[in-house]
Amino acid sequence: MNLGFFASHNGSNMQAVINACNNGILNANPVIVISNNGDAGAVERAKEEKVPYYVFNSKTHPSPDDLDNAMLHALLQHEVELIILAGYMKKIGEKILKHYKGRIINIHPALLPKYGGKGMYGSRVHDAVLKSGENETGVTIHIIDEEYDTGPIIAQTAISVVDDDTVESLSKRVLEREHSFLVETIGKVVSGEIDLEGLTPS
């Protein structure tokens, strides 16, 4: 299965999946990395891994429609079959959503539907979990729809919150789990154990 990544920041989740592809743990190929941010760690990682990468944003394409078209064109050119949003901070254009309906997944560092939505990213998520006094948090992988963090959930795993957890300790523990869980879940998508089409509302 050909994988395309959208990533805005460090790209450690993307790296975990690329490593799994390189080690034969995943029967998949990383074929493209798209970022809105040319300075992203994810772009550096793409260079290192020799995965073709593109920087697309409102500077390269001021018209949202042109941006959507350019991104879709790159995805099709590289024959992407599954798009993975790995820390991607922008909304996905309508044409990509339509063409890749049910084939775009996102990873979120909490147990959705709690602690998701616009503005809920990075340390804000873990801060909100701690402030609410939750005794567990986790990782969610879901299909993307038009909104933030609302598409059908395909996999979740819980992680305990412990008494002396801080935003830093919790982010670190959740991120470590994200890496293995994303690889496991993509493995299930690739093998057909998770049927994305069956989970996608028509």
Question: Would you please indicate which residues are annotated as catalytic (active-site) residues?
Answer: 108
The residue nearest ligand GRF at its CB is 87
Contact between 19 and ligand GRF (CB under 6 A)? no
Indicate the residue among 8 and 31 with the shorter CB distance to ligand GRF.
8
Of 18 and 80, which CB lies nearer to ligand GRF in the complex structure? 18
Minimum CB separation of residue 89 from ligand GRF in Å reads 8
Least distance to ligand GRF from the beta carbon of 149, Å?
9
Mask: binding to ligand GRF, 103-142, rule CB under 6 A, as x and -?
Answer: ----xxx---------------------------------
Q: Are 31 and 193 in contact (CB under 8 A)?
A: no
Cα–Cα distance between 66 and 57 in angstroms, integer?
A: 10
For residue 67, state whether it binds ligand GRF (rule: CB under 6 A).
no
Written as six digits, the tokens of 38 are 């040319």
3-class state of residue 8 by DSSP: coil
- C-beta of residue 8 within 8 angstroms of C-beta of residue 36: yes
- Residues that bind ligand GRF (rule: CB under 6 A) add up to a total of 14
User: Is position 86 an interface residue for ligand GRF (rule: CB under 6 A)?
Assistant: yes
- Compute the distance between CA of residue 92 and CA of residue 14 in angstroms, rounded to an integer: 18
Phi–psi pair at 54, nearest 5 degrees: -140, 140
User: In whole angstroms, what is the distance from residue 82 CA to residue 104 CA?
Assistant: 6
Structure tokens at 137: 């948090």
Residues engaged in binding ligand GRF (CB under 6 A):
7, 9-14, 86-87, 107-109, 175, 178
